[in-house]
Amino acid sequence: MKIHYLLGFCFLFSFGLQAQSDYQNEQQVTATLKKIASNKNAQLKSLTKTAGGKDIWMLTLSAGAPDAHPGIAIMGGVQGDHLLGTELSIKMAENILQNHPEALKKTSFYIFPNLSPDATAQYFSSMKYARQGNASPTDDDRDGKVDEDPYEDLNGDGIITMMRVEDPTGDYQMLEEDNRIMVKADPNKGDRGTYKLLSEGRDNDKDGVFNEDGAGGVYFNKNFTFGFPYFEKGAGEHPVSEVEHRALLDYLYTQWNIYAILTFAPENNLSKPLKYDKGKASKRVITSILENDAKLNEMLSEMYNEIIPKDDAPENHGEGGSAFEWSYFHFGRLAMSTPGWWPEKAKGDSINKAPKDKHANFLRYAEEQGMENVFIPWQEVQHPDFPNNKVEVGGINPFAMTHPPYPLVDSIAIKHTDFILKVAQMQPELQLVNLKQEKVDNNLTRITVDLHNNGLLPTHTEMGDKSRWLRKINVYMKVNGNQQLISGKGRQVIEKLDGDGTMQLSWLVQGSGKVTIEATAPQAGTATQTINL
């Protein structure tokens, strides 16, 4: 989308070095990230380069060694046509560094601002369209040819929208409330279709389908392992087929301290939490959130909705192969996803009631808010594939319903920063409390201590515990050569601790001098206690 929302001014970046009036292109994103990385608490690294030669950046925020703290990952650009996620990721990093540096003493943040740079570049090209695929050439229609049927800008406005073709055999009609909108005719209601509705372009390969195999290959948000949609356009030949997916997962699977992932994408479990389904959760291949994790999701959703109200929020829980679904079902972390912004419903009045159709409603809302260039008026064109039909090109700007006017992005980012910092305040934190020692016969000392999770979040999600992949809690009783452990284990493994959960541990040690108890889990930190017997 390129909404020219002219307010006579534009906001400054948090670092105050660059004015910005529209979403940042690749060069601007890179320059901004490098400025952020000049902060002593920030590090910037390129994980890999895409097929299009673009960097997959990772920005790490931490006071001290990142691995020493529990971590949160933030993913932007997950959906190739969702530039808002990239902006929010970057602005949240700026906000944390500038206004909340104290949070980095306890939490590390791993920020991947744009995981679809090949696709997002289309927004800044001379011909804009809602591209999701990377630069890997693909045979989407499986006809043995690659990228042979792309879009064409028939009306020369630089934006690919839709075209409507007058045809009595068509399935579409104009919406009665707003004839700019085309809707599918319902014969059961006496509707009669008089139009065909197609994407803007020509049928270059003459197979009867328009623009089904253009530039733009594998979708980042469709190439993960959970529910992989085989043989669907954009999915790729197999899960994790792309270099950017492999680089990301290779990194995350060895970053043991990450306990939560926030994804900016169409999937949304924050406005409305996922529901536990016992039947789906009991199958060998689990396809439902587990019961205890559903309760966590509900708690986080309530917190999110206090900051970002859920009115009119879209529902999308994933359609297979998405980053969000992978982060929970296969990575086992606390998984959160949100589109970040959505248009509200038009208010209307007693005379001009708000339309029921979501597209017509959006146009009314845009008018109420003074948003410009969200609709491309229908314009008649000559089309070689339809020489005897009236053909018009136009429709809603392909980015308008998912991207707010740029001046609103700062305030949206601040709200999401507030949310993620509240999550960080709830993170698992191991403590050793209520330490006691009791002298018994034969130079023996009984030691008891409570291992406590001081956070409101569990050390492991139920799915993570079930997966057996996450590191467990290790508790060590460290004795020296003059001491002997009579009962209790020198090293014991604790499966998990619930939020605010506690378990008591006990040892019997013979000898004198100092002993040390250490409890550690990468995603919950390390706690130690030293005792003089």
Give the model confidence (pLDDT) of 455-465 as tens digits. 999 999 999 99
Query: What residues contact 245, with CB distance under 8 A and at least 6 apart?
Result: 220, 223, 224
Question: Can 26-124+218-268+403-425 and 430-532 be said to share one CATH topology?
Answer: no
Q: What is the pLDDT of residue 213?
A: 59
Out of 87-101, 133-147, 475-489, give the one with best mean pLDDT.
87-101
Q: What is the pLDDT of residue 347?
A: 79
- In 141-249 the beta strands, taken as DSSP E runs, fall at 162-166, 172-174, 182-184, 195-199
pLDDT at 8 over 70: no
**At which residue do the structure tokens 């087929």 appear?**
241
Does residue 474 contact residue 523 with C-beta atoms inside 8 Å? Answer: no
The CATH code of domain 26-124+218-268+403-425 reads: 3.40.630.10
pLDDT at 4 over 90: no
Domain ranges of the chain: 26-124+218-268+403-425, 162-215+344-396, 430-532
Q: What percent of the chain has pLDDT over 70?
A: 92
* 330 vs 7, residue with greater confidence: 330
Cα separation, 221 vs 120, in Å, equals 13
pLDDT at 240 over 90: yes
| H or E stretch at 411 | helix 409-425
Cα separation, 89 vs 87, in Å, equals 5
pLDDT at 102 over 50: yes
pLDDT at 168 over 60: yes
Say if strands 108-112 and 71-75 run parallel, antiparallel, or are unpaired: parallel
* 317 vs 86, residue with greater confidence: 86
Q: What is the pLDDT of residue 351?
A: 62
Q: pTM of whole model > 0.95? A: no
Q: What is the pLDDT of residue 11?
A: 32
Q: What is the pLDDT of residue 214?
A: 65
Cα separation, 24 vs 86, in Å, equals 9
348-362 per-position pLDDT tens digit: 665 667 778 899 999
Q: For the chain, how are helix, strand and coil distributed in percent, rounded to 5? A: 25, 25, 50
**Which class is domain 430-532?**
mainly beta
Does residue 235 contact residue 217 with C-beta atoms inside 8 Å? Answer: no
Q: What is the pLDDT of residue 40?
A: 97
**How confident is residue 141, by pLDDT bands cut at 50, 70 and 90?**
low
Of 164-173, 347-356, 357-366, 505-514, the one with minimum mean pLDDT is: 347-356
Mean pLDDT of the chain: 91
- What are the CA-CA distances from residue 88 to residues 15, 149, 382 (Å)? 15, 34, 41
- Report the Cα–Cα distance between both ends of the chain, in Å, rounded: 69
CA 452 to chain centroid: 31
Cα separation, 127 vs 26, in Å, equals 16
